[in-house]
Structure 1
Amino acid sequence: MSSIDSSNSFASPVSPYPQHPYNRRDPDGWDVLYLDQAIPVDPEAKAYMIKDLRSWSRVYLLNPIRWIANGLLAVILVFKRLWPFEFRAYGLMHRSATWFLKTWVSPEACYLIVRHLGLGSNIVNFLIDNGPDPEIERSTLYPRTVDDLANNAFLEHDLILYNFVYDFHQAQGRSPNWLQEVHQRGITFKSIQPVVVEIDFTPRWHRILDLESAIELFKVFYSLLLTNREFERAVLSLQFDENFGCYVSQILNDYRWNHVIVNRHPLAPNSPFMAARDLLLHGVTTEYLHRYLELMNAAQNQYPDPEPQP
């Protein structure tokens, strides 16, 4: 769904997904997974996801990186609890993240990270369009490149989520019949638009880290440069996936797909040591949800609801 010019260095080397000869006696599980459509995912994003999952970095480096990262995280959390004052450094955190992604992280993982923020904005804006108050502040967070993340993008992503949930429920209290009104006027999918991502796919020897390994390492820096409260808030936000799934299902009156949401129960917060895995699942769930909305939009355009009778 991204706009990538195949004539320059932003061209994707894995779109479409490379097909390998199929061996019925020794099938490649990743190839089969790519073809499987039980849970629809954008084909280009899925190609990047699978290349990331089968990378040697994930096979050989992820577990050692996870052990080291969790050890450092434990030290930082204890230190910051005992330290008499707290500090934050948003600019340093985001500039460091940008440098880290551009220097050490694979282009496929960078693509998925940048794309995720745009998908999140689309979903929030869809809920606003079809919610109790279309005048709620919309999300304008649509980074195109890794460099765009330096503008406090990760912090803004969390703030957009929490502020939306607050505004959404405040508006529900003011408009108790909002859902009936939305269904009467019809669902609009105008906010479910293609997300433009521009990533440099030029091969470089040092851009090797897979997505989850990169998240494991960066969560350490994230915990260091945020206050304890901000870090806890960021970790908790990942379990709001279930809530957002319920919002969408309530509007569309379709709860058939909610079982694919794994990040659940924000009233039983997960440990921050699970944050990298939860963030990976959050990204996957966002891809599922956005693709679901794209397919619902396509179905509505193909089979529009009949005009109400006078």
Structure 2
Amino acid sequence: MSKSRSAYLQAIAVDNSLPIEQDAVDLWLKDLDNPFRWWLRPFLQFFFAILLHLIWFLKRLPLPQFSNHTLLQSLICWFCKNVVSVEANKLILRHFATESNILNFLLENSHIQDNHAPTPVELYPCTIEDMHQATFVDHDQELFRLFKELGKWQHTSSESILKWKYWRPIDMSNYKIEKRRSQILDFESSHALFMCLFCFLLTRDEYRDAINGFNLDQSIAIRIGKIIGDDSIVEMAYNKHPHYLVGPWNLSQRFLMHGFFTEYLYAKLHNFYHKDKS
């Protein structure tokens, strides 16, 4: 533990009240140690927040819509490779894995009416280059696809045997990031940059869906809570009420809390996975 950290940061470094893997905590604390986060991030977030709302306004006008997913992902990967810190990159890669595992667990353990199981999510990038194929756009669209293909959800008894066929435990040694001196941006500053790129290079409906997809965290928590017999999971979901559509206001916090939620839920389920396999 870094002795230079404040008393609060030292406290949360050892607090295990919430289910979260130590690897994730360590990465987050190292991201908080980034000096650029404390003096550069406020300026970047202020500037990019204004830019985001301008782009959002222009996209909502009755003008021809355009999008370029390939350019979007190429720009994101370039920034990840050259500007985004190693810790932030690893948190991004972890997020792909945590959410893919959660969605695949939901797929396997949900009652599907027509007995035609949806295709599992295969987004598990381990390097920045992998994100050219396992894209951020796919990350959102796979969530919507799975919910649509699962159809109307039926409560599943918590006494049923849990299935783990598609579960992939996260091994941080698999994440390979080549460190460069130019990689200075912390996680939140990086997201402030990315959200403007997303808004510009997606259609207005694609972007609106992406920023509202966080609210499905509550639906996921309700379903998985019933499956494993633990309704307290719902309290971990910060983003709620998927029927109420929101804009980009407070997007950075909503995104960050979505990331924490997936980490909490992944760790909770991974404990069940270990018990079933032991």
TM-score (norm 1): 0.82
Structure 1 residues 41-52: aligned runs within 5 Å: 41-52=20-31
CA contact (8 A) 2:211 2:251 kept: yes
* 8 A Cα contact 1:97 1:150, kept in partner: no
Query: 2:177 is paired with a residue of what secondary structure?
Result: coil
User: Matched residues in 1 for 2:34 and 2:224: separation?
Assistant: 34
| Residue equivalent to 1:275 | 251
Listed one character per residue, the Cα deviations across residues 30-70 of structure 1 (whole Å, up to 9, x for unaligned) are 22211111012111121001111232122112221111111
Pairwise mapping of residues 141-156 of structure 1 onto structure 2 (< 5 A)?
141-151=123-133, 153-156=135-138
- Tell me if 1:86 matches 2:77: no
**Match status 1:28 vs 2:7:** yes
Q: Distance in 2 between matches of 1:83 and 1:54?
A: 44
- Give, in whole Å, the separation in 2 of the partners of 1:20 and 1:109: 18
The 5 A counterparts of 1:19-168 are 19-20=1-2, 28-82=7-61, 84-133=63-112, 135-151=117-133, 153-168=135-150
Question: Are 1:241 and 2:217 matched, yes or no?
Answer: yes
Q: CA deviation at 1:21?
A: 5.2
Measured in 1, the distance between the counterparts of 2:193 and 2:3 equals 36
Matched, 1:250 2:232: no
2:242 matched to 1:263? no
CA distance in 1, matches of 2:189, 2:133: 23
The 5-angstrom pairing of residues 211-226 of structure 1 reads 211-226=187-202
Contact 1:123 1:191 in 2 (8 A): no
Distance of aligned partners of 1:49 and 1:84 in 2 relative to their CA distance in 1, 3 Å threshold: same
What amino acid is aligned across from residue 244 of structure 2 in structure 1?
A
Structure 1: where are the runs of 5+ without partners? 1-18, 303-310
Q: Does the CA-based 8 Å contact 1:107-1:199 persist in structure 2?
A: no
Question: Do the aligned partners of 1:90 and 1:152 also contact (CA within 8 Å) in 2?
Answer: no
Take 1:247 and 1:234, find their aligned partners in 2: how far apart are those partners?
21
Do the aligned partners of 1:91 and 1:152 also contact (CA within 8 Å) in 2? no
Return the alpha-carbon distance in structure 2 between the equivalents of residues 65 and 217 of structure 1.
8
User: Equivalents in 1 of 2:75, 2:62: separation in Å?
Assistant: 24
Q: Give how far 1:108 is off.
A: 0.4
The verdict on how the C-alpha distance between 1:132 and 1:247 changes in structure 2, with shifts beyond 3 A counting, is: same
Give the direction of change, closer, same or farther, for the CA distance of 1:20–1:236 in structure 2 (3 Å limit).
closer
Q: CA deviation at 1:301?
A: 4.5
Q: Contact 2:124 / 2:134 at 8 angstroms: preserved in 1?
A: no
Letter in 1 for 2:205: R
Matched to 1:192, the amino acid is: W
How large is the RMSD of aligned CA atoms in angstroms? 2.1
Q: CA–CA distance in 2 between the matches of 1:243 and 1:57?
A: 36
The one-letter code of the counterpart of 2:260 is V
Specify the alignment match of 1:14 in structure 2: none
SS of equivalent residue, structure 1 residue 139: coil
In the aligned structure 2, how far is the partner of 1:256 from the partner of 1:144?
A: 31
Alpha-carbon shift at residue 76 of structure 1 (Å): 1.2
> Which residue identity is paired with 1:235?
I
Q: Kindly provide the CA deviation profile for residues 57-88 of structure 1, in whole angstroms up to 9, marking residues without a partner as x.
A: 22112221111111111221222233620100
Answer yes or no: is the 8 Å Cα contact 1:106–1:209 preserved in 2: yes
- Provide Cα deviations, 1:8-42, integer angstroms capped at 9, x if missing partner: xxxxxxxxxxx2459xxx96322221111101211
Counterpart of 1:189 in structure 2 is 164
1:261 to 1:225, Cα distance in 2 relative to 1, 3 A: same
